Amino acid sequence: MTDRPKSERLFERAVKVIPGGVNSPVRAFAAVGGHPPFIERGQGAELFDCDGRRYLDFCGSWGPLILGHAHPEILDAINRTAARGTSFGAPTALEVELAELVVNKVGPVEKVRFVSSGTEAVMSAIRLARGFTGRDKIIKFNGCYHGHTDYLLVKAGSGLATFGTPSSAGVPEDFARLTLVADLDDEKSVDRYFNQYGDEIAGVVIEPIPANNGLLLQRRDFLAYLRQVTERHGALLIFDEVISGFRVGWGGAAGVFEIVPDLMTFGKVIGGGMPVGAFGGRADIMEKLAPLGPVYQAGTLSGNPVAMAAGLTTLHLLDKEDAFRKLETLGAHFEVALENCLAGQRCRVVRHGSIVWLVFQDEPPRRADHIQSSAIDRYNRMHRDILDHGVYLPPSGYEVMFVSLAHTVEMLDHAAQVIGDAAKRG
Ligand code: PMP
């Protein structure tokens, strides 16, 4: 590829010193072919690569950038906070402010703890569920991704789906043994485990809006059933809202579906583009954490002031901008525009609010094994063409697009046109 010479040279250097040239496997262009453009800067809904190319961005750093790139108020908060010191390893007011905001806005969260990534948030929530219940087994779902913790890297979607590996090497079978994998949209597959192991199951963890293996929208009934079955068996229900938290509404998917989980996990939007994760829920459960209780959990940079400032400013802006109503309007506009531009193609536009997935098959799937490989292949084949026409989509057909408040209807119409034209070419 000679049309991005600087990116190519950087990639050549990168692969010599970084495995695969990337610091997270989903950034590689393995599934879609070619090499990734190296990004120099972002502004609003646009990305600019080091070769001077400009892209309309629908990846949004994989979800965090709900207000777009380089939002001036967020940058200002980051700069002002950093000028006073970047880390203290001692409490700051910013942590309290963000925690109060989360507790006020998210019904099921009575107490919250901040960490530095979504992976850490879910790992800690599960340790807490195990410590609280005194049980070891957990149930997860085929196609739900919860970060790269050993026992959660089983049938996990995201990069694992893209690279066709059901589980990671290096995960001892003894760890994976404690993870029971059920199917989405299938009460019986969950029932079976509870019938067999009811009093050994610490919790059920699910992305209530599964968005890491396509967008597998669930029936509310199914999620309500998970609430009932966990309650009946003394297990905890954990909603992993690393993507959906502060993206689909103040209360996340729990608020949308009016289901109260015991614990919730957050990441992405809550950090405003800085490394933040969080987990929270019922006070009696959260109080089992050290220093109050026996469940240990810690982090040198947890609640980092610069990251807290970015998250806090992001959530304040979402409030001020009436964000979730606007994002729904933009998402609905994009859905219609895509449907129009893809008319006559074997394609469905699956959407919840500002989370959008294109799947090139007749029926939108509700579970991972109902995605046809031909649907993914079709997307992957079109990706480079779309990129070369200035629209940056996530580099795998299993990944979703994110609309931000920086997108305008004109941008959405333009992107839909580019995607539709690429589909006509093949
Ligand atoms: N849970 C979910 C639902 C996610 O989407 C992700 C990341 N895509 C994670 C957990 C892990 O978060 P992180 O990459 O910040 O560790």
Grade residue 174 by pLDDT with cuts at 50, 70 and 90: confident
Q: Residues of the chain with pLDDT > 90: what percent?
A: 93
Q: Indicate if the pLDDT at residue 101 is higher than 80.
A: yes
Question: pLDDT tens digits, residue range 225-258?
Answer: 999 999 999 999 999 999 999 999 999 999 999 9
Q: Indicate if the pLDDT at residue 21 is higher than 60.
A: yes
Q: What is the pLDDT of residue 249?
A: 98
Q: What is the pLDDT of residue 259?
A: 98
Q: Evaluate: CB of 273 within 6 angstroms of ligand 1.
A: no
- Which residue from 263, 391, 265, 395 is spatially nearest to 338, judged by alpha carbons? 391
Q: Residue 6 Cα, ligand 1 centroid: separation in angstroms?
A: 30
Pair of tokens at residue 349: 């536009």
Q: Evaluate: CB of 267 within 6 angstroms of ligand 1.
A: yes
- Which residue from 368, 4, 203, 185 is spatially nearest to 193, judged by alpha carbons? 203
Protein residue whose Cα sits closest to atom 10 of ligand 1: 146
User: Per the residue annotation, which of 111, 140, 155, 268 is the catalytic one?
Assistant: 268
Protein residue whose Cα sits closest to atom 13 of ligand 1: 118
Grade residue 156 by pLDDT with cuts at 50, 70 and 90: confident
CATH 3.40.640.10-classified regions of the chain: 72-319
What integer is the mean pLDDT of 193-204?
A: 97
Ligand 1, atom nearest to 240 Cα: 3
Question: pLDDT tens digits, residue range 314-370?
Answer: 999 999 999 999 999 999 999 999 999 999 999 999 999 999 999 999 999 999 999
Q: Is 137 a catalytic residue?
A: no
Q: Residues of the chain with pLDDT > 70: what percent?
A: 98
Q: How far apart are CA 100 and CA 293, in angstroms?
A: 21
What integer is the mean pLDDT of 41-68?
A: 98
Q: Evaluate: CB of 241 within 6 angstroms of ligand 1.
A: no
Grade residue 214 by pLDDT with cuts at 50, 70 and 90: very high
Q: Evaluate: CB of 243 within 6 angstroms of ligand 1.
A: yes
Q: What is the pLDDT of residue 1?
A: 45
Q: Is 145 a catalytic residue?
A: yes
User: What residue type is 70 in one-letter code?
Assistant: A
Residues 6+ apart with CB under 8 A from 424: 345
Q: How far apart are CA 124 and CA 145, in angstroms?
A: 15
- Which residue from 160, 168, 183 is spatially nearest to 399, judged by alpha carbons? 160
Fold category of 72-319 in CATH = Aspartate Aminotransferase; domain 2 (3.40.640)
- Which residue from 220, 265, 275, 276 is spatially nearest to 239, judged by alpha carbons? 265
What integer is the mean pLDDT of 205-229?
A: 98
Q: Residue 126 Cα, ligand 1 centroid: separation in angstroms?
A: 14
C-alpha pair distances (Å), 237 with each of 102, 256, 294:
19, 16, 20
What is the longest distance spanned by two Cα atoms in the chain?
Answer: 61
Which strands make up the sheet holding 355-359, listed edge to edge? 348-352, 355-359, 401-402
What integer is the mean pLDDT of 36-53?
A: 98
Ligand 1, atom nearest to 212 Cα: 5
H helix runs in 263-408, sequence order: 283-286, 305-320, 323-341, 373-388
Q: Indicate if the pLDDT at residue 166 is higher than 50.
A: yes
Q: Indicate if the pLDDT at residue 161 is higher than 90.
A: no
Q: Indicate if the pLDDT at residue 205 is higher than 90.
A: yes
Q: What is the pLDDT of residue 304?
A: 98
3-class SS of residue 350: strand
User: Per the residue annotation, which of 240, 262, 379, 398 is the catalytic one?
Assistant: 240
Question: pLDDT tens digits, residue range 255-272?
Answer: 999 999 999 999 999 999
What integer is the mean pLDDT of 17-46?
A: 96
Question: Structure pTM?
Answer: 0.97
User: Per the residue annotation, which of 145, 151, 379, 398 is the catalytic one?
Assistant: 145
* From the candidate CATH numbers 3.90.1150.10, 3.40.50.10800, 3.30.420.40, 3.40.47.10, the one assigned to the domain spanning 5-67+322-425: 3.90.1150.10
Summary mean pLDDT of the chain: 96
Helix (H) or strand (E) holding 206, with range, is: strand 201-206
Pair of tokens at residue 412: 């959405």
Question: pLDDT tens digits, residue range 274-319?
Answer: 999 999 999 999 999 999 999 999 999 999 999 999 999 999 999 9
Ligand 1, atom nearest to 147 Cα: 11
Q: What is the pLDDT of residue 154?
A: 82
Question: pLDDT tens digits, residue range 386-426?
Answer: 999 999 999 999 999 999 999 999 999 999 999 999 999 97
Q: Evaluate: CB of 140 within 6 angstroms of ligand 1.
A: no
What integer is the mean pLDDT of 104-111?
A: 98
